[in-house]
Amino acid sequence: MRVFKFGGASVKDADGVKNVATVLKQTGHEQLVVVVSAMGKTTNALEQIVAFYLQQESELKTQMIDLHRYHFDIVDALFEHKQHPIYQKTQALFTDLQTTLDRNKSKQYDYIYDQVVSYGELISTTIISEYLADQGFANQWIDARELIKTDTTYRDATVDWERTQQTIRDKVDRNTLSVTQGFIASDANNFTTTLGREGSDYTAGIFAYCLGADSVSIWKDVPGVLNGDPRVFQNTKLLRQVSYSEAIELAFYGASVIHPKTIQPLQRKEIPLYVKSFLNPKADGTSVKKGQPLDPYIPCYIVKKNQILVSLSSLDFSFIVEDNISEIFKLFHQYHIKVDLIQNSAISFSVCLDDKFHHFEKVLSTLKAKFKVTYNTGVALYTIRHFTDQAITSLEKNKDILLKQITRETYQMVAKE
């Protein structure tokens, strides 16, 4: 039993969908679960639809038409006969999306987000499942919302592992090819939830854990895990081997190739993870397994943009101690703000924050009541795992550095973008 995951870049157009079939031909499709993301930039487009909907903007209709056209252009390129059931099935999903918007009574952004954005995965998997069937790959389309159960933390739900294991074991046929959605799930009342942005990798890990899979393969537009994002860093190199612990570290610091939560369920059952190129399916890519050394052992570069650097100091020059820090972190937790770096002295405390849910303004007003607050928005957090002096010197060149920190294996720097 294997699990494959194809991201949005791998199915952004008709050629990408056709390539999924090519990969399955080359790697085999028996006893396989295929997890698929929304096509191309569909999630971004649906996020914009949510924004237009809540602001009652006239652009909503145009955005819906553009998204409809984008998907039907792909359908037209994949299916020769216009009477194919895929046309009716895809249209039904767009009709459901419009109905969801029309009938919604909630004003809660996170709830609306999950109900709307989930259609990206539902549409992509419907198209791909039908195309694979047309190409001779008999398959079972599965609604992941019926299998992965979570709490009601919309946009970043926590998995109910006991219920999820039971439903996946009961409803997934291990002997066939199954196609399902990444990223989406549902709560106890069957309202749609999502597992966090880029959460499709995590979905693959959940299915692998619950099914006791032999392996997980994540198919990307890069050769595997590189020692830096090639869009940001020059002369990047392929990491042939990575351990679970190293992969968790890289993901935690912001490496975009693997979702931070993906590794945890896999390492519990020692299920190997492979990151491979969908453009070259026969290539080895990167293997992630227990205890294997980083190969090659070289500096790994990571950048997280659009961060917030906050520095707090006491109003009366008293020490910032455990009670203060506990209170600050409780506030961050309450508003789902992730802390990526911490540095403190006797009377000051600095943190680099990832405010993915845009709650910082609410937190800021509370902090200002108790502390002197200075902050910079739109900063970048750079990390080097297994740094060298040369790597640090190269990274710091021509940067306006606000804060830096060095531990045994990790160098971090916050700089203005």
39, part of any domain: yes
Is residue 260 assigned to a domain?
no
Percent of the chain whose pLDDT exceeds 90: 88
Q: Given 168, 190, 220, which residue is the final one in a domain?
A: 220
Burial of 397 (0-12, 13-18, 19+ CB in 10 A): exposed
CA atoms within 13 A on the CB side of 48: 15
| Angle, CA 388 vertex, CA 385 and CA 392 arms, to 5° | 85
Q: Is 322 within any annotated ligand binding site?
A: no
Taking the whole predicted model, whether its pTM rises above 0.85 is answered as yes
Pick from 204, 220, 236: which residue ends a domain?
220
Residue 194 has pLDDT above 80, yes or no: yes
User: Residue 16, SS3?
Assistant: helix
Report the CATH number at residue 338. Answer: 3.30.2130.10
Query: Is 80 exceeded by the pLDDT of residue 400?
Result: yes
Given 220, 240, 271, the domain boundary residue is 220
For the chain, the first-to-last Cα distance in angstroms comes to: 45
Does 400 fall in a domain? yes
Q: Which two tokens stand for residue 38?
A: 């929304």
The sign one gets for the Cα dihedral 72, 76, 80, 82 is positive
> Do both 49 and 167 map to the same domain?
yes
Number of domains in the chain: 2
pLDDT at 156: 93
Nearest CA to 381 out of 417, 329, 338 is that of: 417
CA dist list (Å): 122 to 95, 111, 368:
13, 17, 44
Establish whether 8 is an annotated binding residue.
yes
Split at pLDDT 50, 70, 90, the class of 258 is confident
Tell me, yes or no, whether 35 and 166 share the same domain.
yes
**72/174 same-domain check:** yes
Which element (helix H / strand E) includes 247? helix 244-253
Mean pLDDT for 38-64 is 96
In a 13 Å sphere around the CA of 135, the CA atoms on its Cβ side amount to 19
| Residues in contact with 108: Cβ distance below 8 Å, sequence separation at least 6, in sequence order | 154
d(C-alpha 98, C-alpha 377), whole Å: 36
Q: Tell me the two tokens of residue 219.
A: 């198919």
The helix (H) or strand (E) run that includes residue 186 is strand 184-186
Residue 136 assigned ligand-binding role: no
Phi, psi of 236 (to 5 degrees): -70, 155
| Contact status, residue 1 vs residue 176, Cβ threshold 8 Å | no
E strand map for 45-154: 139-141
**Sign of torsion over alpha carbons 364, 368, 370, 371:** positive
Is 68 part of a structural domain of the chain? yes
pLDDT tens digits for range 118-127: 999 999 999 9
Render pLDDT for 345-376 as a digit per residue (tens, 0 to 9).
777 889 999 998 899 999 999 999 989 999 99
Pairing relationship of beta strands 177-181 and 139-141 according to DSSP bridges = parallel
Residue 19 has pLDDT above 80, yes or no: yes
pLDDT at position 15, please? Answer: 97
**Cα–Cα distance, 240 to 255 (Å, whole number):** 16
Closest CA to 311 of 277, 347, 340: 347
Q: Is position 356 within any domain? A: yes
Phi, psi of 343 (to 5 degrees): -150, 130
Q: What integer is the mean pLDDT of 47-61?
A: 95
Q: Locate tokens 């890289």: which residue?
A: 250
Could you tell me the pLDDT band of residue 300, with boundaries at 50, 70 and 90? very high
Residue 37 lies in a domain: yes
Q: Would strands 184-186 and 177-181 be described as parallel, antiparallel, or unpaired? A: unpaired
Q: pLDDT grade, residue 344 (50/70/90)?
A: confident
Give the pLDDT of residue 324: 79
pLDDT at 154 over 80: yes
Identify whether residues 171 and 42 lie together within a single domain. Answer: yes
Position with higher pLDDT, 255 vs 48: 48
Q: Parallel, antiparallel, or unpaired: how do β-strands 215-220 and 241-243 relate? A: unpaired
Q: What pLDDT does residue 260 have? A: 77
Region 184-211 average pLDDT? 95
Which residue range forms the structural domain that includes residue 198? 2-220
In 228-266, which positions are buried (b, 16+ CB within 10 angstroms) versus exposed (e)? bbeeebeebebbbbbbbebbbbbbebbbebbbbbbbebb
- Note the residue count of the chain: 417
Taking the CA atoms of residue 87, residue 90, residue 92 and residue 96 in that order, the dihedral angle to the nearest 10 degrees is -160
Under the banding of pLDDT at 50, 70 and 90, the label for residue 71 is: very high
Same domain (yes/no): 68, 192: yes
Average pLDDT over residues 42-66: 96
Q: Is residue 32 part of a domain?
A: yes
Residues 6+ apart with CB under 8 A from 174: 1, 31, 211
Q: Is residue 264 part of a domain?
A: no
Q: Are residues 199 and 327 in the same domain?
A: no
The CATH number of residue 48's host domain is: 3.40.1160.10
5 among annotated binding-site residues: yes
- The annotation status of 276 as a binding-site residue, yes or no, is no
